[in-house]
Structure 1
Amino acid sequence: MPEDLNQGLIDFLKASPTPFHATTSLCQRLETAGFRRLDEREAWHTEAGGRYYVTRNDSSLIAFRLGKRPLLEGGMRLVGAHTDSPCLRVKPQPELQRHGFLQLGVEVYGGALLAPWFDRDLSLAGRVTFRRDGKVESQLIDFQQPIAVIPNLAIHLNREANQGWAINPQTELPPILAQVAGHEPYDFRALLAEQLTREHGFNADAVLDYELSFYDTQSAAVIGLNADFIAGARLDNLLSCYAGLRALLHADGEESCVLVCTDHEEVGSCSACGADGPFLEQVLRRLLPAGDSFTRTIQKSLLVSADNAHGVHPNYADKHDGNHGPKLNAGPVIKINTNQRYATNSETAGFFRHLCLENEVPVQSFVVRSDMGCGSTIGPLTASQLGVRTVDIGLPTFAMHSIRELAGSHDLAHLVKVLTAFYASPVLP
């Protein structure tokens, strides 16, 4: 079972180099399982026992399974995660031709660890908007092959490299794509038009705009002497998206279950499709009658906000509170912060711990050191938007926000098991 889940995650990561591709991958798996797509611009006709999903901006998704029990009686079981990861985004006019090399200007998206981006085989993917036959359309593209690299400067020319140096994202991060002769200006949009033809078989009249990200072409893999780890890009937070999907697909039909995978968490979630925007509330209000039914249902509901946690690193153990150092392969972590950087309280933490104990899933706790700042998640944002009770949890990982992160190879099965039990739970606190 863990092996099948891990391979499924590896396949999902490979198909999901950007939030757009991740959302498409989720949609394909949902449709295969019998979920029906809803359009926000149309009237909805849903029924008890029905399975549905809706997307926004092609990069956020809400999937739900309406249970046999009325929403007003049983509430909703929600699992939340996010589709985006720190990366390098191509600028609108990116062409750089310097010393015979073609490069692209990039902007850093989110709080990326920049050093690991050097000396990696990079490809490019995302959404392209274009004009064809007088109409504006959009399509996803993925070059798949390594087409770029950001070479390090040799240590002979940077003797202080191993003492640490500040990376300048403006001057040191533009990837190299090719050598070019002469000074004829290069047209990046022409390259995108060619890629649209290769992938989709049509000719665009003009490429109008795009949202494109570089990514590492090395596949995720189970690694380690005893296959203890899974290494790959975008584990934060596609790992949680995949775990939530697997749990939703195995949910029984009694309770109403929701999976929320939103974009833009890494940059604050403040967007039309982010957790600090109206997407989730607008979808849920369409499922409930008018009046006080919405508030009553929300107060009978619970959100599990699933986002990766910091595992205690053997080389940097002093970065953790001595009593709160989550270990890889020791189960999901309940994340707690008294300043509300996480939305967990004693009731929601107790309920999640109870679920783990009932289903023989190991569980851990994380509290940041009192002399360090604390990150946050979609949990507090969703809780403040909806007023829904929330517990923040996640699987422990190393190298969060690196181009290649590391998790325990047994933990995905732990998370899927407890989330499946959560979706089936007949009683919430």
Structure 2
Amino acid sequence: MSIAAGATAVDMNHLYIVGPAATDGQWTPDLPEEMVSIGYGTFIWDGYLGEGEFKFLNRLGDYNSSLVAENENQRVEAGQTYTLVDNSSGQGRYDFKFWNPEVGECRIIANMSTNPMTIKFRRPVMLMVGSAVRGWSSPSQNIPVFADDEGVVEWTGLLQAGEIKFLAGNNWSPCYNAPAHDEAFTDGRHGLVYNENGENDHKFIVPHSGRYTLRFNMQEPSVTVSAQAGPSLAGAFTAASGRYVVAADRSGRHLYFGAVPKRLFVRSLDGKVTPLQAYGGEEGRFSGQVYMEKGNYYKLYADESCPEEYCFSPNTDVDISSGATGNVAPMHGNSYTVGQTGNYNVLADFSGNTPSVSAMMTVTGAENITDDSGVRVSVEGRDITVEGEYGHVSVADVYGRVISTSARTSVSPGIYIVVVDLKTFKLIVR
């Protein structure tokens, strides 16, 4: 494999999927979908893709390690193989994305050891649903079954005692049913009935929880069942009542639990601790002025003495001065950083479904001009005025609610955050 001068060699140990189709409609390089290594330079990922674009990263959080499509908006179709192009720093190629046209489960297999590198794209042959799997609440609550390179359709995993049937697509029908009502899903061959209209919707009954191997013959169609003794699936986590932050470490196979903090402190690597204040009248929202240095490292703690068991941090170093991040886990992990030294308004919000942390550089006073922006933000009476060359402006109150996007805004006395492109000003209106 040839490597352009100045480029970094491809890392055969890691590969990530990023883009709106894979990561909830957003480009989140710090929280991508990690592919599973199954051999030197070969990776596999089973997951849910929305409609839209995606590409690959060789290094977590680093767009300069991009692996992209050969053509712009390259559509991915079931059963096809596509070239994966190294567009990392120094390669100078176009940043072409892959495009997924069909929402649903899929399997992506990447081979980075070949020249050219490739990805294979597959759709499920069928989807397993039912109380033996993940419940009956929605057809999206399924386990997909894929064919291998030779076309063999086989699945091995844990089933619970209960009902099961097989969907042919993303809806309840068409599907594959049992030949008779409540047919026992015992060892041996069972016929499958293709059902297009939902009538005679017979289910198989898995008699006991355990580990099963299911081998499908789609020409007949049929399934051959082989059951093995397996562990109990009746376990559960317990905790005191309240709101918790839960983070999953896919590579280390760990779950991290932490109660939403009542208090919050910012601690730097050199030991300086700064408290944040609760605001907004809602549990889990904190704000405060913190002097932060470029090159220093910061974590959040729910206790002033900063023991590791009360720490909130990301799984990779994240610059929170470039925008809010949802990379917040109740663990003693990596650190938060800033792009330049100065005073910052640090916001930490645990009130929603996903926590977030951000740091906005502040310039306090009645009238301020940054040295390099050519933008003037001033207060005259109770009017906030923005002058100069800029692309976007927003004025928000101290709770983060945007009240104006105009160059001149009349306000009541209080504290306001004015964002002009990438510059942030904190103004006091008396």
User: What TM-score does the superposition give when structure 2 sets the normalisation length?
Assistant: 0.22
Structure number with larger C-alpha Rg: 2
Greater share of strand: 2
Greater share of helix: 1
